[in-house]
Structure 1
């Protein structure tokens, strides 16, 4: 179906590499710290740590989920370590606040990261007062996107009507469960190594390569609609 912004009353956004560009290399910092954590945990070299890290990510949705499954780590220890990074690169990210705030209805953040990290990102992006709620990895009970329970939990917690919601995400594989629930979907194709993995074209309503441009176009489309009544 063609994307219809006029029926949307709940706008759901991923965080990393969605509200800011991969060109900030913020997640590269996290990636390196994940490797360091695994090296220390397993007593292995960087090559083996990288192999384990990506295996867990692809098989379990997040590296954290794999580490919890196989090694029973404390998620708070892991998240605190890997998110101890420099947020200064986000100063150069586009300012999305006015565009997001202009969207009619609720704005929710749906992230496989944790609340503390997400709020630091939002602060760096000047988006502190934009979102009406957040569904993070703790709320998901550590069963991350694309696990269907992450999506049904979000829908139930915020009383979302899926047919009136849209989910915007840079990882194509994370859109299929949202589409299955009845949401409209937007894939941000940012030409990353991981973005198109397990892509299902039938689960994607819109493909965009710039979230700021997509927001601008969407708001213009809404403004052009005739007033009813």
Structure 2
């Protein structure tokens, strides 16, 4: 299923999730972060790898990020956590001129909203070759460490950047994270994937088949970001001026 251009003719604010959205989940970049989160928890709490992984996933399901659980239960310094878990090799990503050109061709502003850090987002964006097309990043620090889909940080992002929600589109691989933007009047786009990281409700190690019916908060479903954006940018550029 793809999203046609017509419903996006009004959009002037394009908000993208970062991990497993701006780049394909199949490249397994986030798997490096996942391993480092487990290592951090194991070292921090004196746990073996299995117990650390279980706690990590339990925190992720209950709090939205493992960091949030570590902060609430153990007083973990969030900056130390973020510095460690995002110290990864981004060369697993392939630079994408086609993606960069498509993002650049979209009308209006482009922003990143991530549960990661600004540093991580910048590293990923630079590697992909798309950084020059984005005017802002709203990260987990800006959200006061309250992860998606807590609605309050979404409102704070809108206020910080002066976003008109009625003219905004939000693209995300976790459809539960599209509930707040849909409620705010944004057009939502779910990037459907079969990655375990895109289905946090699954058991550890289990990969679920993507659902075709995530809920009314999802307005459009796509299966490949680059393919969709290239087609969308082309269609929007050739559409009659409104």
Distance 1:93 1:55, change over 3 A: farther
After TM superposition, what 4+ stretches of structure 1 lie above 2 angstroms from structure 2? 91-95, 193-200, 223-228
SS of equivalent residue, structure 1 residue 56? helix
1:206 to 202, 220, 236: 220
Q: 1:130 is matched with which residue?
A: 133
Separation of aligned partners in 2, 1:28 and 1:60: 19
- Out of 78, 83, 88, which is 1:80 matched to? 83
CA distance in 1, matches of 2:50, 2:194: 25
Task: Please report the TM-score for the alignment, with normalisation by the length of structure 1.
Answer: 0.94
Aligned to 2:119: 116
Q: Does 1:172 align with 2:175?
A: yes
Note the C-alpha offset of 1:193: 2.3
Query: Structure 2: which 5+ runs fail to align?
Result: 202-212
Q: Which position in structure 2 is the counterpart of 1:146?
A: 149
**Preserved contact between residue 10 and residue 107 of structure 1 (Cα < 8 Å):** yes
User: 2:47: which partner in 1?
Assistant: 44
Q: Which residue of 1 aligns with 2:189?
A: 186
Cα offsets for 1:188-207 (capped at 9, x unmatched): 00112242557841000111
User: 2:161 is matched with which residue: 135, 158, 161?
Assistant: 158
Matched, 1:18 2:21: yes
| CA RMSD of superposed structures (Å) | 1.8
> How many Å apart are 1:11 and its aligned residue?
0.3
The offset of 1:23, in angstroms, is 1.6
Structure 1: which 5+ residue stretches go unaligned?
A: none
CA contact (8 A) 2:60 2:200 kept: no
CA 57–94 in structure 1, closer or farther in 2 if over 3 Å, else same:
farther
